[in-house]
């Protein structure tokens, strides 16, 4: 078997594969983002990425881009080439058939149907395989896919916008707008990239939001609204979105009024799902998140309000947080971004891992991963 050592340029080509993969961000569910670069004698001869589920995997797209002549070349891909038949035939077989000499893999596919079998198959056929080049970046790129396929839960992203004095609304409940144009555009970019969006009853009734993505070329996330006892009117904006091709799904309790459920379901694109309650009354959030994931949605953006965010953090269900902070003070008794129980000691507070900071006009965005418990 060929020796498999890294070359100085491996990381550069892997970074190119990751950049290609990202072109399909928000478009590949339930599949991961995968990019591929094929190189021969120091020259890139093929590039490709997985555009959406059911279409060519990245490796096949890159082989086609190279015109099919890839004998003796090196292939760089951020996820282990697959070894299974599903919507498409196995990439590892195509690589062997096309006589590619060396394959550099970002990270092993956590899909139990692949998970090491792809690289084994390649090695058994005499292809040199190097694993783990930009491994952490490759895993971070597809964190939602990794979580979804190994746990059946979606990647949960909490987002809020608050004033400098930590409020998400004034004492009268007014919240339009806390942040400026650029920050709001950034939110639409999140809606474009995450598969689903979820809000609580309070936000639904107070804000009457549309939860659509309003940027050029954007696509709408599948909308989930929590309305335990179906208090919302079918006339709310979210039940009358003729311009959206994503559904709106209402989550309510098993004992919610069937007539009210029927009135909502009568609206085009609206579905109603009944969810079990916890012993103390509210809907079971883990059950809700599993219901979202079971539709092949890898990630969910939670846009509030305070009760929902608080409950999710209390139960350790949040993976990533985005906090937009505006340079305004509003004072009074308006709510903070998180209700719930919270932690008694500052020492126990959730601290984001290596938070990133972005300046968006006069607003600040702080975001980062919530450490696993």
10 Å CB burial of residue 121 (0-12, 13-18, 19+) is buried
Question: Taking the CA of residue 326 as centre, how many other CA atoms within 13 Å lie in the half-sphere pointing to its CB?
Answer: 20
303 is catalytic: no
Separation of alpha carbons 52 and 32, rounded Å = 9
Which residue, 64 or 359, has its beta carbon nearer to ligand AOF? 64
Grouping H, G, I as helix, E, B as strand and the rest as coil, residue 267 is: coil
- Torsion angle of alpha carbons 336, 337, 339, 342, nearest 10°? -100
CA-based nearest residue to 78, from 19, 153, 160: 19
Minimum CB–partner distance for residue 194 and ligand AOF (Å): 18
Binding test (CB under 6 A) with ligand AOF, winner from 37, 58, 241, 330? 58
Site for Zn ion contains 50 (CB under 5 A)? no
Question: With binding defined as CB under 6 A, does residue 50 bind ligand AOF?
Answer: yes
> Nearer to ligand AOF by C-beta: 91 or 190?
91
Nearer to ligand AOF, 87 or 242 (CB): 87
Give φ, ψ of 279 to 5 degrees. Answer: -55, -35
Of the residues 25, 43, 55, 59, which is catalytic?
Answer: 59
> Residue 58 binds which entry of Zn ion, ligand AOF, none, with Cβ cut-offs from 5 to 8 Å by kind?
ligand AOF
Angle 58-65/10-22 helices, nearest 10 degrees?
110
C-beta closer to Zn ion: residue 81 or 334: 81
Distance between CA atoms of 188 and 301, rounded to whole angstroms?
A: 11
91 sits near Zn ion (criterion: CB under 5 A): yes
144 counts as binding ligand AOF under rule CB under 6 A: no
Find the binder of ligand AOF among 13, 20, 32, 367 (CB under 6 A): 32
Nearer to ligand AOF, 27 or 328 (CB): 27
CA distance 34 to 58: 6
Nearest distance from C-beta of residue 109 to ligand AOF, angstroms: 5
Break the chain down into helix, strand, coil percent, rounded to 5: 30, 25, 50
Count the residues of the shown chain that bind Zn ion, applying the rule CB under 5 A.
3
What are the counts of helices (DSSP H) followed by strands (DSSP E) for the chain?
A: 11, 14
By CB under 6 A, the residues from 93 to 122 that bind ligand AOF are 109, 111, 114
> Stretches 85-93, 191-199, 221-229, 296-304: which one binds ligand AOF (CB under 6 A)?
85-93
**Cα–Cα dist 55/65, whole Å:** 15
Q: What is the number of other CB atoms lying within 10 angstroms of the CB of residue 212?
A: 19
- Tell me which of ligand AOF, Zn ion, none is bound by residue 34, counting a contact when its beta carbon lies within the kind-specific cut-off of 5 to 8 angstroms: ligand AOF
Three-class HEC string of 152-181: CCCEEEEEEEEECCCCCCCCCCCCCCCCCH
Among 39, 82, 168, 292, binds Zn ion (CB under 5 A): 82
Which residue stretches of the chain are H helix? Answer: 10-22, 58-65, 91-97, 117-124, 135-141, 143-151, 181-193, 201-207, 258-265, 285-293, 306-314
Looking at the Cβ atoms of 59 and 319, the one nearer to ligand AOF is: 59
Compute the least distance from the CB of residue 91 to ligand AOF, in Å.
Answer: 4
Q: Which is nearer to ligand AOF, 127 or 308 (CB)?
A: 127
Which range of residues in 50-58, 123-131, 157-165, 189-197 is near ligand AOF by CB under 6 A? 50-58
Interface residue with ligand AOF, options 87, 242, 280, 348 (CB under 6 A): 87
Establish if 79 lies at the interface with ligand AOF (CB under 6 A). yes
Q: Does 57 contact Zn ion by CB under 5 A?
A: yes
Q: Rounded to whole angstroms, how far apart are CA atoms 269 and 96?
A: 45
Binding residues for ligand AOF, per CB under 6 A? Answer: 31-32, 34, 50, 53, 57-59, 79, 81-82, 86-88, 91, 109, 111, 114
Residues recognised as catalytic: 59
């Amino acid at each position: 078997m060929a020796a498999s050592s890294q070359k100085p340029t491996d990381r550069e080509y892997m970074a190119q594969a990751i950049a290609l993969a990202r072109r399909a961000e928000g478009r590949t569910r339930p599949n991961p983002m995968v990019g591929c670069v094929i190189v021969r004698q120091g020259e890139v001869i093929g590039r490709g990425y997985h555009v959406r589920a059911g279409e060519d995997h990245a490796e096949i797209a890159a082989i086609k881009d190279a015109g099919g002549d890839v004998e003796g070349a090196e292939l760089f891909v951020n996820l282990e080439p697959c070894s299974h038949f599903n919507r498409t035939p196995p990439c590892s077989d195509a690589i062997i058939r096309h006589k590619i000499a060396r394959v550099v893999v970002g990270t092993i596919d956590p899909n139990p149907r692949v998970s090491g079998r792809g690289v084994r198959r390649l090695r058994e056929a005499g292809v040199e395989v190097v694993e783990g080049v930009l491994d952490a970046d490759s895993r971070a790129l597809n964190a939602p896919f990794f979580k979804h396929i190994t746990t059946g839960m979606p990647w949960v992203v909490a987002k809020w916008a608050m004033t400098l004095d930590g409020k998400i609304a004034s004492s009268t409940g007014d919240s339009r707008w806390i942040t400026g144009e650029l920050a709001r555009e950034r939110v639409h970019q999140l809606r474009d990239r995450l598969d689903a969006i979820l809000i609580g009853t309070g936000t639904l009734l107070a804000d009457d939001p549309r939860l659509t993505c309003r940027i050029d070329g954007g696509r709408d996330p599948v909308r989930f609204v929590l309305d335990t006892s179906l208090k919302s009117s079918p006339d709310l904006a979210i039940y009358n979105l003729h311009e959206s091709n994503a559904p709106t799904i209402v989550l309510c309790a098993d004992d919610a009024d069937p007539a009210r459920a029927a009135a909502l379901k009568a609206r085009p694109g609206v579905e109603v799902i009944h969810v079990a309650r916890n012993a103390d009354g509210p809907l079971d959030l883990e059950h809700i998140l599993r219901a979202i994931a079971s539709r092949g949605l890898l990630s969910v953006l939670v846009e509030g309000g305070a009760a929902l965010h608080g409950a999710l953090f209390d139960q350790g269900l949040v993976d990533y947080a985005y906090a937009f902070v505006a340079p305004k003070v509003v004072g009074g008794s308006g709510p903070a971004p998180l209700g719930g129980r919270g932690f008694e000691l500052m020492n126990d507070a959730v601290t984001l891992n290596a938070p990133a900071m972005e300046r968006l006009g006069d607003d600040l965005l702080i975001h980062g991963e919530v450490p696993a418990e």
